[in-house]
Amino acid sequence: QTEKREATEETVTIVFKHGKLAGGPEALRAILARFEAENPDIKVKDEVLPASTDEQHQFYVINLEAGSPEFDVLSMDVIWVEEFARAGWLRPLDGIFPPEEREDFFAGPISAVTYQGSVYAIPWYIDAGLLYYRKDLLEKYSMPVPRTWQELVSTAKLIMEKEKDIYGFIWQGKQYEGLVCNVMEYMWSRGGGLIDEDGRFNALKKENIEALQFIYDLIHTYRVSPPLVTTAMEETTRHIFGSGRAIFMRNWPYAWKIFEREGSAVKGKVGVTVLPAFEGYSSAATLGGWQLGVNRYSPHPEAAERLVRYLTSYEVQKEMSIKMGYRPPRRSLYEDEELRRAQPFIVELYPVFERARPRPETPYYMMITQVLQPEFSAAITGLKSPEEALRSIQRQVEYILKLEER
């Protein structure tokens, strides 16, 4: 109302918080500059958050809890939106993100931004776990791309015996959020999971035990995964794979572009596919990606909403895909000719994203994951048996969820 008029009279500055983006600060700056050109009454200041998502989360929590009006637009991991919405820190965006438009988005991210019927953020870009493999090696030993975990193990073992100094399968096993993503993929692809049909939290079940056991076996029984995976994060594994020292790798899509760069040791030798599943079950990938929302305490909500709209618009998402390699959450973009030409790789991932599953959708996810991370870590390093770990998870999470009851 009056704000609109004010906005036209003086420029407002809105602050946009986000994690560091691939391609350096300039690419985003260019996009924002265009936004500023289109909206002369708005200036955008973008501020980069720390590397680790845990620290980013801590930043938001501490500031939002204190009602900080110091930033307007925030980028959020999929697992935070419900928590922030439940805490009442986000502005509902139903008005600028109508149900019709949501149709065009993948189901996973939409469900992640929806809390009690309203949307609190708009998906910005999307991620999901993938299997990277060495095309050249599989061809050399004429092995097919594995469709099941067991196949992956046997293929890896076979090649490892022939090739010297090569790891079989590397993934992210350090105690952090990435580990949860990895473990969930095994559980889902075994028919398990943490939340039952009725929405109850139920970790302790046969499928989950078997999945965890399998992960443990990857390292300690089949020995296709080196022990270093228990401390590896994305870049650790990407470096190893990128220097040609591994056959298979689980990672996010970002790695592809790096492998295909000039001078890469594996340029042209890398293939990408959906993650394997257990025999008789279907493959699953953990949904990742970032959403944009508006701070409830923002002094300029209207301007902030405009920025969110802009950044999640068809055009910007397309540009970010083409120029920076980010995967758009809009299905229709995968039909876009320009994008198909520029990033054929992204387009191929469509089926993966279609099937990507969100981690447990609960406002308490961050507390729960603090339980999951160490317990999973303990299970894959053999400090605890899978059953012990899952039992412990169940007990602790129940104590957390008791908060809800009053």
Partner 1 sequence: MSRTLKKALNWLVLCVVVLWSVAPFVWQIITSFKPSAELATLPPLLPASPTLDNYISVFSDRPFGRIILNSLVVASLTTVLSILVGSLAAFGLAVLKPRGGYLFLGFVLTVSMFPPISTVSPLYIIIRELGLRDTVLALIITYTTFSLPLTIWILTNFFRSIPRELYLSARVDGCTSFQIFYRIFLPVAAPGLFATAILVFIFAWNEFLFALTFTSTVRARTVPVEIALFPGVHEMPWAEIAAASVIVTVPVVLLVFLFQRRIIEGLTAGAVKR
Partner 2 sequence: MKDRREGYRFLLPAAVVLLFVTVYPLFYVFWLSLHRRHLIFDISRFSGLENYAFLLQDERFLRALWNTVYFTVLSVGLELVLGMVVALSLQRAFSGRGIVRALVLLPWALPTVVSARMWEWMYNTDFGIINYLLGVDVNWLGSPFWALNAAVLMDVWKTTPFVALILMAGLQVIPRELYRSAMVDGAGSLYIFWRITLPLLKPVILVVLLFRTIDAFRVFDAIYVLTGGGPANTTETLSIYAYKVLFQTLQFGYGSTIAMVVFLCVGFISVFYVRLLSR
Q: Return the number of the residue (349 or 371) whose C-beta is nearest partner 2.
A: 371
Cβ-Cβ contacts under 8 Å for 280 (sequence gap 6 or more): none
Cβ-Cβ contacts under 8 Å for 400 (sequence gap 6 or more): 364, 367, 368, 371
> CB of 88 within 8 A of CB of 65?
no
Q: Return the number of the residue (176 or 350) whose C-beta is nearest partner 2.
A: 176
Q: Return the number of the residue (251 or 396) whose C-beta is nearest partner 1.
A: 251
Under the criterion CB under 8 A, does residue 68 sit at the interface with partner 2?
Answer: no
**What is the smallest separation between the CB atom of 192 and partner 1, expressed in angstroms?**
28
* Exposed / middle / buried, residue 173 (Cβ in 10 Å: 0-12, 13-18, 19+): buried
**What is the smallest separation between the CB atom of 27 and partner 1, expressed in angstroms?**
12
**Distance between CA 340 and CA 342 in Å, rounded?**
6
> CB of 234 within 8 A of CB of 251?
yes
**Distance between CA 316 and CA 331 in Å, rounded?**
14
* Among residues 87, 118, 206, 398, the one that binds partner 2 under rule CB under 8 A: 87
First to last CA, the chain: 41
Q: Which stretch binds partner 2 (CB under 8 A): 4-12, 60-68, 145-153, 196-204?
A: 60-68
**What residue has token string 């596919």?**
273
| Residue 313 binding: pick among partner 1, partner 2, none (C-beta 5-8 Å cut-off by kind) | none
**What residue has token string 């600060």?**
25
Cα–Cα nearest to 78, from 291, 230, 389, 284 = 291
**Distance between CA 205 and CA 278 in Å, rounded?**
16
Q: How many residues bind partner 2 (CB under 8 A)?
A: 36
| Residue 282 binding: pick among partner 1, partner 2, none (C-beta 5-8 Å cut-off by kind) | none
**What is the smallest separation between the CB atom of 59 and partner 2, expressed in angstroms?**
10
Q: Return the number of the residue (254 or 364) whose C-beta is nearest partner 2.
A: 364
Chain positions 202 to 261 lying near partner 2, rule: CB under 8 A, are 227-228, 230-232, 236, 239-240
**Distance between CA 152 and CA 275 in Å, rounded?**
10
Under the criterion CB under 8 A, does residue 67 sit at the interface with partner 2?
Answer: no
| Residue 47 binding: pick among partner 2, partner 1, none (C-beta 5-8 Å cut-off by kind) | partner 1
Element (H, E) at 125: strand 122-128
Cα–Cα nearest to 77, from 346, 296, 286, 331 = 286
* Among residues 61, 145, 324, 347, the one that binds partner 2 under rule CB under 8 A: 61
Under the criterion CB under 8 A, does residue 166 sit at the interface with partner 2?
Answer: no
Cβ-Cβ contacts under 8 Å for 391 (sequence gap 6 or more): 204
**What residue has token string 């399998």?**
214
Kindly list the distances between the CA atom of residue 245 and the CA atoms of 31, 166, 252, 290, in Å, as whole numbers in the listed order. Answer: 37, 5, 18, 31
**What is the smallest separation between the CB atom of 23 and partner 2, expressed in angstroms?**
24
Q: Which stretch binds partner 2 (CB under 8 A): 15-23, 123-131, 319-327, 372-380?
A: 372-380
* Site for partner 1, rule CB under 8 A: 19-22, 24-25, 47-52, 55, 59, 62-63, 66, 68, 70, 233-236, 238-239, 243, 252, 254
**Distance between CA 388 and CA 394 in Å, rounded?**
10
| Residue 57 binding: pick among partner 1, partner 2, none (C-beta 5-8 Å cut-off by kind) | partner 2
**Distance between CA 393 and CA 166 in Å, rounded?**
35
**What is the smallest separation between the CB atom of 403 and partner 2, expressed in angstroms?**
6
Under the criterion CB under 8 A, does residue 141 sit at the interface with partner 2?
Answer: no
Chain positions 386 to 405 lying near partner 2, rule: CB under 8 A, are 392, 396, 399, 403
**What is the smallest separation between the CB atom of 150 and partner 1, expressed in angstroms?**
29
Under the criterion CB under 8 A, does residue 150 sit at the interface with partner 2?
Answer: no
Instruction: Give me the 171-210 binding string for partner 2, x by CB under 8 A, dash otherwise.
Output: ---xxx----------------------------------
- Point out which residues bind partner 2 (CB under 8 A): 54, 57-58, 61-62, 65, 83, 86-87, 174-176, 227-228, 230-232, 236, 239-240, 363, 366-367, 370, 373-374, 377-378, 381, 383-384, 392, 396, 399, 403, 406
